[in-house]
Amino acid sequence: MFTINKAFERQKAGHGDFHIDIVIPGRNTADQDLGFYNLGRFDDAHLKPGAFVGMHPHKNDEILTLMRSGTMLHKDSTGKEIAVTPENLMLMNAGSGIYHEESIPAERFTEDVRLLQIFIRPENEDDPPQVQFANAGKLIKNEWRLVAGVKGSNASLEIKSNILVYDMEAEKTASDYPIHILKTPYILFIFSTGN
């Protein structure tokens, strides 16, 4: 089955310096579950310098943050305080519970932030929480990069679910997909930094 969720159909959230378009991947299916397999939702976020999202909890989520522009400061209850950038990616394995906050201190960072957060359901609930970071380097046009995946996948970040996440900076002519994607269910999220 081929289903398209268009940008104008997205739910909206946020205010002031912080806006999110929320994509619920199972919304257009007949299933009662609004997720798609272990994919819960996608948050396409835009934050301006000065934005602050205060400390809040997550439980039993795997939250992958893919930055497209800017720098965001991450703080969490595991004691980490790290800048997340397009090269330095983050995965929070919330497990039994974690608190975090995100900010763009205007005195340190002047560029708007564009990011995509993918909420993934773990295979097991209530594992010990952890936050992972990986320097994934710059995207190369029309080359798939395995960003996160199940243990043993050789991905930079380990998801505790049977999911693989690839990204690329695509030109209109890009058409080559990893071969196993053609044999399994998948979601292709097109993230545009243009207007």
- pLDDT the model gives residue 195: 44
Phi/psi at 126 (5° precision): 65, 30
Q: What is the mean pLDDT of the chain?
A: 82
Closest CA to 189 of 13, 20, 17, 22: 22
Question: Does any domain span residue 7?
Answer: no
Tokens, residue 168: 């690329």
Question: Does any domain span residue 178?
Answer: yes
Question: Does any domain span residue 188?
Answer: no
Residues for the chain: how many in total? 195
- 21-63 pLDDT, tens per residue? 887 875 555 555 565 567 888 898 999 999 999 999 999 999 9
Question: Does any domain span residue 140?
Answer: yes
Bridge-based pairing state of the strands 145-150 and 81-84: unpaired
What is the longest distance spanned by two Cα atoms in the chain? 48
Question: Does any domain span residue 89?
Answer: yes
- 132-178 pLDDT, tens per residue? 999 988 888 878 888 999 999 989 999 998 888 888 887 765 455 55
- CATH number of the domain residue 76 falls in: 2.60.120.10
Question: Does any domain span residue 147?
Answer: yes
> Which band of pLDDT confidence, cut at 50, 70 and 90, is reported for residue 1?
very low
What global pTM score does this model have?
0.82
- pLDDT the model gives residue 58: 96
- 76-129 pLDDT, tens per residue? 999 999 999 999 999 999 999 999 999 999 999 999 999 999 999 999 999 999
Report the domain count for the chain: 1
For 166, the domain range is 12-183
